[in-house]
Structure 1
């Protein structure tokens, strides 16, 4: 019975997340302007991956891991979908963390997941290929 509850909660989270995040990040993305940061991260990331450019020669202000991430998935053509997946995975990690901190109370986890999913900052940062979503995911993963 517990397995069915876990599966149903994950399905509900996934559906809520898809209904809230995906339309804004995938469909509406092409009607919004591209920010200069995104252009720089994509060009430097693809230069890192394709040309083995040293990180000190292209946008050395930030650590290169997220730019490698952006460059690799931009070359494959799935970078925006990966960012939607990062947002979903970050929400699930938040749910698991809060559920663990609250002594197994899943309602607190669901509330935090919903707040995270409907937050406009999450929409805006995961819609563009920026460094923050990668940093958020790996920070939450390290805490978990």
Structure 2
């Protein structure tokens, strides 16, 4: 659909939630992404983001978990293709090898424009996110 990734990052600013856009993320290193998000967070805190910082975007990531959110359905901001909502990590019971054990769990919620993204692709994306969260080395090894 697009040959670039401009990712909106929802950040709590001095006057509420704002979504600055990281441009051409596909060309950035992990360190560049982290640094740029930190810069945007500082600008947002001081209400110093510029209108062009908030325009465009192909996809947004929102972490309601930092505010205690357990689960929500994030809303796509047109013309973006989707939004990924991350939620609080909490210990929950799960079945593992026939036993009930307590493990840290986090719910993810993906909302997407079905005119642009096929359901199979969306599920594959969520599965990849799950695998990277469970084994972060995959991100750096590009597995």
Question: Which category describes the TM-score, using the shorter chain as reference length?
Answer: under 0.3
Question: Highest relative contact order (Cα 8 Å, sep 6+), 1 or 2?
Answer: 1
Higher helix share: 1
Higher strand share: 2
TM-score (norm 2): 0.26
